[in-house]
Structure 1
Amino acid sequence: MACEVAPARMVAEATDPGGAPASPGAWLQIRGLTKLFAGELALDSADLDVELGRVHGLVGANGAGKSTLIRCLAGVTVPNRGSITIAGQELHKGSPQASERAGLAFIHQELNLIPHFSALQNMLLGAPKKTRFGLIDWRRSGVAARAAAERVGIRFPLETRVADLSVAERWLVMIGKALTRDASMIAMDEPTASLSGPESEQLFAIIRDLAGQGVAILYVSHRLEEVLDLCDRITVLRDGRIAAEADRGSIDKKGLVHAIIGHDVRPVRDTDRFAADRSAAPVFSVRGLSWKDRVRDVSLDLYRGEVLALGGLVGAGRTELAHLAAGVARPDGGHLELHGRPLRLSSEAAAVAAGIALVPEERRSQGLMLQQSVGFNINVATLDRILSVPGLPFVSGRKGRQQADRLIGELGIKTPSAAAKIGGLSGGNQQKALIARWLPAGLKLLILDEPSRGVDVGAREEIHAAIRALARSGVGVLVISSDVEELVLLADRVLVMREGRITGELTGAGITEAAIIELSYHDMQDAAGPARGGETA
């Protein structure tokens, strides 16, 4: 039977239906939650308590069971065993409507908003509305939405189309939508993945304020620093089981990483970095490249064997530079060279034909066909290699399976089979499948935009290993990352951009978080001077 839950200010006395002891103020209790997919355990007897008025972090590797647990709470997935109790009443399983009535709201990384609808229309989507003369009375219907908007600090007019809002503003719309429905718990999946530093801080302030008002926040993120800083309690999932639980201040980042992957991350030594032979010809060169004041007179060389990374703040021009190199956009000035030959790209298809591939930042919307199989997504760029008869437009299923299975094995992609839908894979395995797509394609230059976005620390290590192996094999590798730690862990050389220009170069022991951050804020008038920790910009 679906439960109707009292508002957040009315905290029911926790009662445990069996299993682990309940937290004194637990509002939501999960006991023995178990879910199998095709005989594989996605959740294995998971227990979890969430209290009103607290921020509860949920972390774990991709495929650890976080998404399955959230889907069970949302009523989208029916568990095989276990119970979910809210305010002392058991939640009816497999009913999204029962979950919403119980006061649960869910904000996913891919925000479910209708772009051509206004913020107000999106906030009221699916909610009962007041009518007048048979038409929706938006003024009367929107009273609760406007109160929620004020509660989360929305400053833009609610009549603004969602398509005209920033990502941060769209997050505020989603939070306001949840509060319009009087949600007592809001689950947030990777809320800061697309936000700048100031936007993230604004969101953190809103989360703390909501918790102060008695709302429970279930916070899912791979950014461990913000989890440690923001969350009152942290639960770690590993292989479908609860691997660790900790209150604020009782665990540090190293301990959290160990709980997530079961071992410590190997630190990067300077001897692990590859020093390219600059006397040899570059694999890829950019000379005086400019585009719409977003890329300004950029020059760089990428050498064989090295991982060259672009650092800098959001909006520094790194993605625009990648798009120019991949044929997505055409430059206003300057030119490109590949293996010493001029490169004139009229389209993305021309770039692919030249041996250049881009793994985009938004892999789900820009890189993957989520309803297609893993094998299809891997093979789609090299269909000419798996034809039944060369020259005839018929694909060989056998050759396709062989190629996909080989690449799945090489990159360690965790999937039931090549025939499984790629939309069901974890973010890290989806990213590895995107990289695998280009390996048989005569690749000369691979550009990766935010390669570990939404990826756990364990999968990040595997992706980094694959990237290094590609570079060492002779493929040119250009990486863009807003994660300063990733730049330190992965790059052999770092170029930092600001306002469309390169402000400095870092190599060897000079690749540090402090140096990257300093160059990210480097004044333009100093850009011609020596770059700290490296060579002249």
Structure 2
Amino acid sequence: MNATELVPPGQRRPTSAATFVEVQALTKTYGAIRALKGVNIAFRRGEVHGLVGANGAGKSTLVRSLAGLEQPDSGSIRIDGVETQIPNPSAATKLGLAFIHQELNLVETFTASQNIMLGSHEGAALAYRRIDGVHPTARTVATMLGIDFRLDRPVARLTVHQKWLVSIARALVHDCRLIAMDEPTASLGAEESARLLKVARDLADHGVAVLFISHRLDEVLELCDRVTAFRDGGVSATMQRPEATRRRLVEAIVGHEAAPSRPASRVANDDRPVVLEVSDVRRGRALTGATLQLREGELLGIAGLVGSGRTELARAIFGADRIDSGTMRLFGRPYAPRSITDGIRHRIGLVSEERRAEALFLDLSVTGNLYVNTWRKHRIRFTPFTSSRRAERQAAEVSQELGVVLRQGGVRQPIGGLSGGNQQKVVIGRWLQTEPAVLLLDEPTRGVDIGARDEIYRRIRSFARAGMSVIVISSEFEELLECDRVVVMSAGATVGELTGASITVKDMLRLCYHWPESGS
């Protein structure tokens, strides 16, 4: 769809229900994991098509295959009825496919106009730089989308909603005929979400095929003409708007088969003293009433879908973010950390989900990364200097204890040269040096191979057995099955708690979607 073909709001172009993209028998495996199992799905012009499903159900793998980021093992993709190969993202763009991910791919230091024109044929050779700082085509697209902020403003100064509009405008400049939006309202408030949903509806009314991926079923039911539910790498159901209900969608997502339950040997012990208590904690729209208790030596899981507030709660407990209201108690005393330093002083540790961006110093050695929080342990007495020999000797011992596989150079090598699993073990080892009473692990196995994943969880269980209180946050609900208890969050609030035999993937999903056990 070319930007010059847009019509003003209120004037609707005739749309066609013809199929634009058709996927047939698509499969994709990663080792022993079958991410896509013969998926058949079609996306039509002028239609909003919703994709729903639990984490790991196959939605993202399908989208990445359409975007040219993954190559399917078998099956076909047809564009306008012609079987087509999509070897890379550039090819996808030329075919009229645009993908707007949660992590918006914008240049923060560029203006909105420059980001809109970036990569287009009109933006070549820096032609997007005009005297007034705004390209005419960018202005035209902005008007059609109802953008009311200045286009010469740097993207870094825009809100999340405004950045989404910039990303959509850029897609239109690239003559897109399909726009895929991945969790577009996860970080937005109610008013901004409503405005973005209207934009999606207007795009479909103007002939664009809109692929809307969301965990928010109410939005999906309100917006989408058709909805496809994914489960275990396959399509479990496709419904037209009149037949789609919340109950039917949840049943298609969760399924009726018995999910594996927790090992019987892991039994919650309510007699252990409470170490951390969180009561009705709130922060903006991210946390709207989080409540939990963590006991001594307990392995507590936090389950939730995208935008549920899991990470925000971990950051609040750690002291990275201040809460607006609610209370926290640590060892029975009021706990209100003013900063990360304050959290560490209270013996709280956090292994962030953004390992490379927030936890690692990639050019620093393994030793340096292990002791960046505890360098004073290796200070030479009566001097401000540290003993590198002592630090390296202990770093080697810690690495061996955690199963870190070191290459040539040992603990002196830059940590950037280690595998993801070994990097994660070093980050965990760093926090162990602070002797935390509470260790928070946010997506501890993201980007880690299955062998390292098993090793990391074996270590986590050993920490709990030794008396440390551990909270594990994971999008892979199967990883939470061995927890003593699992707290489920949705829309920033605690919506349920699972113990004993009720700790199943199915029950976690049921609570995530606010669905009663009876299914009524």
The question of a shared fold, defined as TM-score above 0.5 by the shorter chain, is answered with: yes
Distance in structure 1 (CA, Å) of the matches to 2:71 and 2:292: 53
Distance in structure 2 (CA, Å) of the matches to 1:190 and 1:352: 33
Partner of 1:393: 395
**Change in 2 beyond 3 A, CA 1:153/1:25:** same
Determine helix, strand or coil for the equivalent of 2:75. strand
Identify which of 491, 495, 510 aligns with 1:488. 495
CA contact (8 A) 1:234 1:246 kept: yes
CA contact (8 A) 1:355 1:445 kept: no
Larger mean Cα displacement after TM superposition, 215-224 or 31-40 = 31-40
Partner of 1:533: none
**Change in 2 beyond 3 A, CA 1:133/1:109:** closer
Deviations along 1:217-238, one digit per CA (max 9) or x if unpaired, are 1111122222222211112222
Partner of 2:31: 38
Identify which of 313, 320, 324 aligns with 1:328. 320
Identify which of 174, 180, 191 aligns with 2:173. 180
**Change in 2 beyond 3 A, CA 1:71/1:198:** same
Partner of 1:356: 348
Distance in structure 2 (CA, Å) of the matches to 1:355 and 1:84: 53
Distance in structure 2 (CA, Å) of the matches to 1:470 and 1:211: 44
Root-mean-square deviation (CA), in Å?
5.6
Partner of 1:72: 65
CA contact (8 A) 1:130 1:138 kept: no
CA contact (8 A) 1:57 1:231 kept: yes
**Structure 1 residue 79, shift from structure 2 partner:** 1.8
Distance in structure 1 (CA, Å) of the matches to 2:461 and 2:346: 14
Distance in structure 2 (CA, Å) of the matches to 1:380 and 1:64: 39
State the number of aligned residues. 417
CA contact (8 A) 2:485 2:497 kept: no
CA contact (8 A) 1:308 1:491 kept: no
Distance in structure 2 (CA, Å) of the matches to 1:308 and 1:41: 26
Distance in structure 1 (CA, Å) of the matches to 2:196 and 2:361: 29
Q: Which AA in structure 2 matches 1:56?
A: H
**Structure 1 residue 76, shift from structure 2 partner:** 1.7
Partner of 2:246: 253
Partner of 1:114: 107
**Change in 2 beyond 3 A, CA 1:365/1:233:** farther
Distance in structure 2 (CA, Å) of the matches to 1:49 and 1:370: 44
Q: Which AA in structure 2 matches 1:490?
A: E
Determine helix, strand or coil for the equivalent of 2:203. helix
CA contact (8 A) 2:122 2:128 kept: no
1:263 aligns with 2:265: no
Deviations along 1:492-523, one digit per CA (max 9) or x if unpaired, are 9xxxxxxxxxxxxxxxxxxxx9xxxxxxxxxx
Distance in structure 2 (CA, Å) of the matches to 1:46 and 1:35: 10
**Change in 2 beyond 3 A, CA 1:393/1:72:** same
Distance in structure 2 (CA, Å) of the matches to 1:133 and 1:218: 31
**Structure 1 residue 152, shift from structure 2 partner:** 1.8
**Change in 2 beyond 3 A, CA 1:100/1:444:** same
Distance in structure 1 (CA, Å) of the matches to 2:124 and 2:392: 64
**Structure 1 residue 253, shift from structure 2 partner:** 2.3
**Change in 2 beyond 3 A, CA 1:481/1:224:** closer
Distance in structure 1 (CA, Å) of the matches to 2:243 and 2:371: 48
Query: RCO greater where, 1 or 2, for CA within 8 Å and sep 6 or more?
Result: 2
**Change in 2 beyond 3 A, CA 1:337/1:28:** closer
Distance in structure 2 (CA, Å) of the matches to 1:39 and 1:265: 22
The percent identity for this pair of structures is 36
Deviations along 1:136-183, one digit per CA (max 9) or x if unpaired, are 436597222212212222111011111111111111111111112121
Identify which of 326, 334, 339 aligns with 2:331. 339
**Structure 1 residue 262, shift from structure 2 partner:** 2.1
Distance in structure 2 (CA, Å) of the matches to 1:133 and 1:124: 10
TM-score, with length taken from structure 1: 0.60
Distance in structure 1 (CA, Å) of the matches to 2:126 and 2:211: 41
**Structure 1 residue 337, shift from structure 2 partner:** 5.6
Distance in structure 2 (CA, Å) of the matches to 1:281 and 1:197: 40
Distance in structure 2 (CA, Å) of the matches to 1:69 and 1:357: 36
Distance in structure 2 (CA, Å) of the matches to 1:224 and 1:290: 23
Q: Which AA in structure 2 matches 1:245?
A: T
Q: Which AA in structure 2 matches 1:109?
A: Q
Give the 5 Å matches for 1:218-237. 218-237=211-230
CA contact (8 A) 1:236 1:260 kept: yes
Distance in structure 2 (CA, Å) of the matches to 1:132 and 1:49: 37
Partner of 1:49: 42
Q: Which AA in structure 1 matches 2:496?
A: L
Determine helix, strand or coil for the equivalent of 1:392. helix
Distance in structure 1 (CA, Å) of the matches to 2:398 and 2:273: 39
Distance in structure 2 (CA, Å) of the matches to 1:320 and 1:364: 16
**Structure 1 residue 483, shift from structure 2 partner:** 4.6
CA contact (8 A) 1:56 1:234 kept: yes
CA contact (8 A) 2:118 2:128 kept: no
**Structure 1 residue 80, shift from structure 2 partner:** 2.2
